[in-house]
Chains A and B, each alone.
Chain A
Amino acid sequence: MSSQLPMLLFLVPFFAGVSMPILAARRPSICQPLTIGAVAVMVVLAIVNLRVVLNGGPIEYAIGGWAAPLGIAWLDDTIAATVVLTISAVALLSLIFGRVVVPARLERSISYHTLILLLIGGLVGLIFAADLFNVFVFLEVAALTGYALVGAQGGKASVFAFRYLLLGSFGATLYLLGVAHLYAATGTLNMADLATRLPQIVTSTAVAGGLIYIFLGLSIKMALVPLHSWLPDAYENAPEAVAPLLASTVTKVALVAWVRIEYSLIVPGLEVGHVPVLVLLEELGVIAALIGGALALIQTDLKRMFAYGGVSHIGLILIGVSLGNPTGFVGGMFYLINDAVMQAALFMIAGALVHYHGARSLDDLRDLGPRSPWLTGALIVVAVGMVGLPPTGGFFGKWNIILGALEAGHLVAAFTVVASTLLTLGYFVRIFACWFNRSAGAEAQPQPVAGSLRVSLGAISVSMIALGLMSDSIVRFLLESLAGGGV
Chain B
Amino acid sequence: MVELLQTLWQRPNFVVFVILFLWGFYIMAAHPNFVKKLIGLYIVQTSAIFFLVAFSAKDGAAVPIIISEGVVDAAAYANPLPHVLTVTAIVVQVATLGVSLALVSSIYRKYRSLDEDEVMEQLE
Which A residues are within 8 Å of any B CB, using their own CB?
A: 133, 136-137, 140, 144, 147-148, 151, 154-156, 158-159, 161-162, 165-166, 169-170, 172-173, 176-177, 179-180, 183-184, 189
Contacts and interface: CB of A to CB of B under 8 A. Distances in A.
8 smallest CB-CB distances across A and B, nearest first, come from A158-B106, A162-B103, A140-B92, A184-B55, A158-B103, A176-B48, A173-B48, A177-B48
B110 A148 contact: no
Interface string B94-124: 0110011011101101110000000110010
Interface in B51-87: 51-52, 55, 81-82, 85
Nearest to A156: B123
Given A166-B37, A169-B45, A180 B106 contact: no
Nearest to B79: A187
B106 A151 contact: yes
6 contacts: A136-B92, A140-B95, A148-B102, A155-B106, A162-B100, A176-B48
Nearest to B116: A159
Given A158-B103, A162-B107, A176-B89, A144 B96 contact: yes
Contacts of A173: 44-45, 48
Given A151-B103, A155-B110, A180 B55 contact: yes
A278 to B, nearest CB: 28
B96 to A, nearest CB: 5
A296 B30 CA distance: 29
A159 B99 contact: no
Contacts of B106: 151, 154-155, 158
A162 to B, nearest CB: 5
A137 B88 contact: yes
A159 B85 contact: no
Contacts of B123: 156, 159
Interface of B: 25, 28, 34, 37-38, 41, 44-45, 48, 51-52, 55, 81-82, 85, 88-89, 92, 95-96, 99-100, 102-104, 106-107, 109-111, 119-120, 123
Contacts of A148: 99, 102-103
Which of B85, B103, B107 has the most A CB atoms < 10 Å from its CB? Answer: B103
Given A162-B34, A180-B55, A170 B103 contact: no
A172 B92 contact: yes
Nearest to B84: A133
A170 B44 contact: yes
A412 B84 CA distance: 45
Contacts of A166: 28, 37-38, 41, 100
A165 B103 contact: yes
Contacts of A162: 34, 100, 103-104, 107
B48 A159 contact: no
Contacts of A147: 99-100, 103
Nearest to B44: A173
Nearest to B92: A140
B91 to A, nearest CB: 9
Contacts of B37: 166
A149 to B, nearest CB: 11
A177 B45 CA distance: 9
Contact of B48 (A154, A155, A161, A180): A180
A169 B48 contact: no
Nearest to A185: B55
A329 to B, nearest CB: 31
A129 to B, nearest CB: 13
Nearest to B28: A166
Contacts of A156: 123
Contact of A133 (B38, B44, B85, B104): B85
B92 A165 contact: no
A159 B107 contact: yes
A161 B103 contact: yes
Given A140-B95, A148-B102, A170-B44, 17 more contacts: A133-B85, A140-B96, A147-B99, A151-B106, A154-B109, A155-B106, A158-B106, A159-B119, A162-B34, A165-B100, A165-B103, A169-B96, A169-B100, A170-B25, A170-B28, A183-B81, A189-B81
A292 B48 CA distance: 31
A171 B95 CA distance: 16
